[in-house]
Chains A and B, each alone.
Chain A
């Protein structure tokens, strides 16, 4: 995985690396952690069980991490989900979750 590859996927790597006090290696170490599957599967499970409070907390946490690393395409989708969950909307999350899976897949593919 390189910075250029991340950039091509739409990550604002410049901003992300700035938050790492300019330490690119450190940034590149954090990115895979943010893509780790467990949080995402938690979210899917909680939404599936209509446990919107728990789902909101998970989405909210993911949002913070993704925003800090400026993994923008992923962050945008999570933001959308977070806001829906915050309003406790019992809507069909499947298209958003699908999209999330796909974009996350793009990122994990270059790991």
Chain B
């Protein structure tokens, strides 16, 4: 920060001289002109006009007391009452001891006696008054972020206006910096380590700021912002941060993501500019191969598209635009694979936008919590489908449904689930709940209780996406679940990669030890199927048997 302040101090501040005597004005102007932009007024009225015209962007007023039209005291009284300009410091120019006391009592910052002191004294008095005033304001508006030594968000916001003021003719960039899956770092390595990561990022940012004109803050959590004069910052900034992290975080290069809003539109409010940088930053969230993104047309379009999806959600639920598909799961322990259950998966058939991939709307709704509406819709449809198959074919096909992280936070979840199976007229044990592994990493103790409650009520719990989160072996032993769903990333390579094969074998052994079943996801070909069978995998799901299909079409598997 000191660097920025230093740079800022080198900018010329504006001083307004208010005196009716031309000679006095000229004398002061002559003394100040080198260090300040000087404005002149010959009475209080003129001075007020100038202050309004300049939007109060004046660092100091030098005020003569005895003037025609509007004298110094009247002027000062009006100025002090003004909510916007009342805080501009005023130094009184006077030759009367009496007036000095009176004006100091009224709240002027200082006085300069007439005849004037030597110029050096006047300059020091002026500089000190300005600095005192600015420091006072800064201290009020700020606190530094303890963890990183960068500005906090309020201060950053405040200082951005100074920055704008002193760089009015330059275009500026807003940059957001964030960490991919920072919560996992906290969960796995502990908060102290997380803090260390944050302070290293700050170090990288500070190092970059030494060569760039601008300011930076830690906004909250792992979100940082920079406000800079426009330039080619992003790559060098990225490198500076990664290098600061390299000592402690192995995969730093893929962890950092940067969103850039270039040549920010001046007419926008600062918060909006920050939003745009963040939008760009979040557009590559989770993409470990892209580190820098720019706010541009595609992001605007994506944002508008997502807003439309959010807007249309309620109507879509009412009008049954969502269609639940089912993908069969086959048990493969016996001679022939046999259908053992199905996973309910959602599709959105949007009247204007056509079929929307769940890969688009699920992450969106997961982020804003709306996913719980969609989940509930699927739960009800899926539970009724189990009953329908039973009534039509006389067979029970258990169905698994996804339970999102946010659903797991709901206190009434167990009762709600019980209600759903009861309404559908099926038993809890044919209704499986898939909880994603990453949900377990978030808030363990609460989650364990909730899952235990669901299991007590008879529901089977499947741990979804196993292997993509950051479960430790230790966690596996303490978490309650019945079935482990092996993520497709492990399955994909088992027939070509010896190591992948051995890893899967190892996971299957652990599952046996924990006495849970394993379902392998994303099985696409015969080789994978046979390898998994030979390793003792309980069941598989994937295109090898069938893609997800509508309920009517699913009948052919029963």
A residues with CB within 8 A of B:
18-21, 23, 26, 30, 33-34, 57, 60-61, 63-65, 67-70
Q: Is B510 an interface residue (CB 8 A)?
A: no
Does B555 reach chain A (CB closer than 8 Å)? no
Are B27 and A19 closer than 8 Å at their CB atoms? yes
User: CB < 8 Å: which of A19, A23, A57 contacts B116?
Assistant: A19
Q: How far is the CA of A61 from the CA of B263 in the complex (A)?
A: 52
In addition to A18-B119, A68-B23, A68-B115, 13 A-B residue pairs with Cβ atoms within 8 Å of each other are: A19-B31, A19-B116, A19-B119, A21-B30, A30-B26, A34-B23, A57-B66, A57-B68, A61-B21, A65-B21, A65-B23, A67-B114, A68-B24
A residues in contact with B22, CB < 8 Å = 33
Nearest to A20 among chain B residues (CB) is B30
A29 to B361, CA, bound (A): 78
| A64 touches which of B26, B31, B95, B119 (Cβ 8 Å) | B95
Contact call A68/B116, Cβ cutoff below 8 A: yes
Find the B residue at minimum CB distance from A18.
Answer: B118
Residue of A21, A26, A65 with most partner-chain B CB within 10 A: A21
- By the criterion CB–CB under 8 Å, are B21 and A64 in contact? yes
Q: Contacts A64-B95, A68-B115 given: A21-B31 contact, CB under 8 Å?
A: yes
The CA of A70 and the CA of B24, in the complex, are separated in Å by 12
Q: How far is the CB of A107 from chain B (nearest CB, A)?
A: 15
- In Å, the complex CA distance between A26 and B27 comes to 9
Please, which residue of chain B has its CB at the minimum distance from the CB of A79?
A: B95
Complex CA distance for A26 and B30, rounded to whole angstroms: 9
Contacting pair B118 A67 (CB below 8 A): no
Chain B nearest CB from A40 CB (Å) reads: 14
Assuming the contacts A19-B115, A19-B116, A19-B118, asked whether A64 and B30 have C-beta atoms less than 8 A apart, the reply is no
- B13-36 interface with A by 8 A CB criterion: 20-24, 26-27, 30-31
In the complex, are the beta carbons of A67 and B27 less than 8 A apart? Answer: no
Known interface pairs A30-B23, A34-B23, A60-B66; A67-B30 also in contact (CB < 8 Å): no
Q: Could you tell me the distance in whole angstroms from the C-beta of B98 to the nearest C-beta in chain A?
A: 10
Number of B residues with CB within 8 Å of any CB on chain A: 17
Residues of A within 8 A of B66 (CB): 57, 60-61
Instruction: Tell me whether B23 and A33 are in contact (CB under 8 A).
Output: yes
Q: Is there contact, CB below 8 Å, between A65 and B31?
A: no
A33 to B24, CA, bound (A): 11
Q: Whole-angstrom distance between the alpha carbons of A98 and B10 in the complex?
A: 52
CA distance A65 to B26 in the complex (A): 11
Across the interface, which residues of B come within 8 angstroms of A60, CB to CB?
66, 95
| Contact indicator B115/A67 (Cβ below 8 Å) | yes
Known pairs A20-B30, A23-B30; A64 contacts B118 (CB<8 A): no
Nearest Cβ distance between residue A77 and chain B, in whole angstroms? 16
Does the CB pair A65–B24 fall under 8 Å?
A: yes
Contact B114 A64 (CB under 8 A): yes
A21 nearest in chain B by CB position: B119
- Contact in complex: A64, B27 (CB < 8 Å): no
B residues touching A (Cβ–Cβ < 8 Å)?
A: 20-24, 26-27, 30-31, 66, 68, 95, 114-116, 118-119
Chain B residues whose C-beta falls within 8 Å of the C-beta of A21 in the assembled complex: 30-31, 119
Chain B proximity of A89: nearest CB distance (Å) = 17
Chain A residue nearest to B64 (CB atoms) is A64
**Which residues on B sit within 8 Å (CB–CB) of A65?**
21, 23-24
Residues of A within 8 A of B20 (CB): 61
Measured in the bound complex, the distance between the Cα atoms of B27 and A67 in whole Å is 12
Q: How far is the CA of A69 from the CA of B26 in the complex (A)?
A: 12
Provide the bound-state CA to CA distance between A64 and B19, in Å: 11
B114 & A68 in contact (Cβ 8 Å cutoff): yes
Q: Which residues of B contact A61 (CB under 8 A)?
A: 20-21, 66
The listed residue (A30, A57, A63) touching B27 by CB distance below 8 A is A30
Min CB distance A12 to B, Å, is 10
Can you name the residue of chain A whose Cβ is closest to the Cβ of B34? A21
Residues of B within 8 A of A70 (CB): 115
- A64: chain B residues within 8 A (beta carbon): 21, 24, 95, 114-115
| 24 A-B pairs in the complex with CB atoms less than 8 angstroms apart | A18-B118, A19-B27, A19-B116, A19-B118, A21-B31, A23-B30, A26-B30, A30-B26, A30-B27, A33-B23, A57-B68, A60-B95, A61-B20, A61-B21, A61-B66, A64-B21, A64-B95, A64-B115, A65-B24, A67-B115, A68-B24, A68-B27, A68-B114, A68-B116
What residue in chain B is nearest A39 (Cβ atoms)?
A: B21
Most buried by A among B31, B68, B95, B115: B115
Of all chain A residues, the one with the shortest Cβ separation from B95 is A64
- List the A side residues contacting B114 at CB < 8 Å: 64, 67-68
Tell me which residues across on chain A come within 8 A of B95, comparing CB atoms.
Answer: 60, 63-64, 67
For B26, list chain A residues within 8 Å (CB).
Answer: 30
Closest chain A residue, CB of each to CB of B94: A64
Within the complex, the shortest CB–CB distance from B520 to chain A, in Å, comes to 86
Taking CB as reference atom, which chain B residue is nearest A66?
A: B115
Q: How far is the CA of A67 from the CA of B22 in the complex (A)?
A: 14
A18-B117 Cα distance, complex, nearest whole Å: 9
CA distance A64 to B66 in the complex (A): 11
Q: 8 closest A-B pairs (Cβ-Cβ)?
A: A67-B115, A65-B23, A64-B114, A68-B115, A21-B119, A30-B23, A19-B116, A65-B21
CB neighbours of A23 from chain B (8 A) = 30
CB closest chain-B residue, reference A64: B114
- Closest approach, in angstroms, between the C-beta of B33 and any C-beta of chain A? 9
B49 to chain A, nearest CB (A): 22
A34 to B114 CA separation, bound complex (whole angstroms): 15
B119 proximity list for chain A (CB < 8 A)? 18-19, 21
Residues of B within 8 A of A57 (CB): 66, 68
Chain B residues whose C-beta falls within 8 Å of the C-beta of A33 in the assembled complex? 22-23
Nearest Cβ on chain B to A72's Cβ, whole angstroms = 10
Q: Which residues of B contact A34 (CB under 8 A)?
A: 23
Question: How many whole Å from A24's CB to the nearest CB in chain B?
Answer: 12
Chain A residue contacts of B115, Cβ below 8 A: 19, 64, 67-68, 70
